[in-house]
Amino acid sequence: MYTSWDTGRHGTALDSGIVKVLVIEDDPKLSRLLTRVLQEEGYVVDCCVSGEAGLRQAASGLYDIVVLDWMLPDVDGLSVCRRLRELGSTLPILMLTARAELSERVMALDTGADDYVIKPFEIEELVARIRALLRRVAGAGRISVGPLAFDGRHRRVLLGSTPLDLTSREYALLLYLVRRADQIVTRPELWAHVWSTRFDPGSNLVEVHVSRLRDKLGRWAWMIETIRGSGYRLRTTRTESLRTA
């Protein structure tokens, strides 16, 4: 059943960085409940009520996990899941379904879902399964670019052998740049991923955080390149023309 939730934070998002969850669910009551509970857990939550909208959002690269209802009013959740995998997405997908038959559960997993919860469900179990999927991803999330090494399980970054003291926003911003190394990332894109609010063209919030990251990178500050009029790029090799201001 969909129960009320006596929230208790488990250190997943609030203590270790920003985790963005996309909920694709057309039931308004359940959608509101999931949003409230997951926000209380410390996650940033966006919601979609249709399969088409959910597919566009999920394919944007802005999310860490998707909670996906099977029965949607336009494109069903199974089709959304299949299309995401066809696009090459490895985004963790937790399927919500009232289909309890073994063959249907196998179908969901074979289509690309990482886990499933059968309706009606206890909200505690759903949150626990989300945490488990995120731990699984974090455990495999070791990324190295130049002197930077990310330990996804502990949300820690090493510069050479020295741990970087980063805020959750700085961690999220640097990780986003690293995942798109040698690609131009726009200010609105960074804003959407790190702050999850409407982009304010008059704000210098992105510039301030980039400046702080460069200070912490020290002699490796050149890795974050400013692309005038476009945004930023994390460079994996140094060239003479790099500008870091």
Q: What is the DSSP letter of 20?
A: E
Neighbours of 86 (CB within 10 A): 9
Q: Which two tokens stand for residue 152?
A: 């996804």
26-32 contacts: CB < 8 A, separation 24 or more? 26/50, 26/69, 26/71, 26/72, 26/73, 27/69, 29/2, 30/2
Q: What is the pLDDT of residues 195-218, one digit of tens each?
A: 766 777 788 899 999 999 999 999
Mean pLDDT by 10 residues, the chain (245 residues): 36 52 94 92 91 91 90 92 86 88 84 88 89 73 80 77 88 86 88 74 89 95 93 84 46
Distance, C-alpha 86 to centroid of its chain = 19
pTM beyond 0.85: no
Q: What single-letter DSSP state applies at residue 125?
A: H
CA distance 143 to 158: 11
81-113 pLDDT, tens digit each: 999 988 878 789 999 988 878 788 888 888 889
Place of tokens 């890795």: 223
Q: Which domains does the chain have, with CATH numbers?
A: 20-139 (3.40.50.2300), 142-234 (1.10.10.10)
SS3 157: strand
